[in-house]
Amino acid sequence: MRKLLAILMLTLSAYADDPELPDFVEFTTPVSIRSALSGDIVGFGKDRNWTIRDIPLTQDMLQNDPFKDFNLGAVQFVQLGTQDVCLALGEDGFFTRKPCNADLDSKKYETLYTIIPTTTPAVQIRSFVLDKNECMTVFNNPQLPRGRGIGIRPCDVDSLFAVDLDNLFLLNPPIRDAMLINP
C-alpha cells in the first residue's frame, strides 16, 4: 500500500504546475486567418501566421463602443516570430503591419480586434477603427491580382439573420511548408 501511495505522489508531483511559469500566457499557439468564402489568407507574402494576444480593455477603448455589452474583449494578431508587429487596418483602409505597442500608446487602435463567435467554426473579426462596428470582409475588386480583396464593412449582428459568408473567417492551424511522405 505504501508503494502505491508513493507512486501516486510521484506521479501527481510530475504533473504539478511549475511555480516558475506565469499563470498568464501572452500568446496563443500560431494560427492562420482564412476567409470562409474564398479561402484567401490574411497575410503578407510568407508572413501568413499569427499569434493572438489578449488585450485588457480600458475605459478609453470602451468609449463609444457599440459592442461593449457583448463582453467579447479585444485581441491583437501578432506576426509569428515577432513580439511587436501586428496586423493593422491603416488609415488608407488597407490591411498592413505596424508596431503593436505604439498603436496602443497612440490610442488609434488600428491593431485591435474583437473575435465574434457564430454557431459555426467561423467567426467575424471586428476592427476598433472608425465607429467600431465594422468587420473584416472579402470584396470583389477586378483591379487586384486575384480579383478579390480583404477590407471591412459593417458587422452582421442581427440574430434573426444568418451572417453573410463574406464576413466569416476561420482561425486555422498555421500555414507551413508541406513535405512529401514517402510510402
107 within some domain: yes
Yes or no: say if 30 and 51 are a contact pair by the CB < 8 Å rule.
yes
Residue 12 domain-assigned (yes or no) = no
Which domain, by its residues, includes 66? 22-172
The structural domain count of the chain equals 1
* Stretch among 24-38, 46-60, 84-98, 128-142 having the lowest mean pLDDT: 24-38
Distances (CA, A) of 119 to 35, 47, 122, 124, 138: 16, 29, 8, 11, 20
Nearest to 95 by CA among 107, 119, 79, 71: 79
Inside any domain, residue 179: no
Q: For position 5, what pLDDT does the model report? A: 44
Amino acid present at 8: L
Rounded CA-CA distance 121/17 in Å is 31
Residue 145: band (very low, low, confident or very high) from pLDDT cuts 50, 70, 90: confident
CATH of the domain at 47: 2.80.10.50
d(CA 95, CA 42): 9
C-beta separation of 78 from 90 below 8 A: no
Is 77 part of any domain? Answer: yes
pLDDT over 90, % of the chain: 69
Tell me the per-residue pLDDT of 43-67, one tens digit each, with 9 for 90 and over. Answer: 998 999 999 999 999 999 999 999 9
Q: Using alpha carbons only, what angle is made at residue 91 by residues 89 and 96, rounded to the nearest 5 degrees?
A: 40
Distance separating alpha carbons of residues 109 and 112, to the nearest angstrom: 5
CA atoms within 13 A on the CB side of 155: 25
Q: Is residue 40 scored above 60 in pLDDT?
A: yes
Q: For residue 93, is it within any domain?
A: yes
Round the average pLDDT of the chain to a whole number and report it. Answer: 86
Residue 181 falls inside a structural domain: no
pLDDT reported for residue 26: 64
Terminal-to-terminal C-alpha distance of the chain = 50
Give the pLDDT confidence of 10-33 residue by residue, as tens digits: 444 444 444 443 444 566 899 999
- Whole-model pTM: value is 0.82
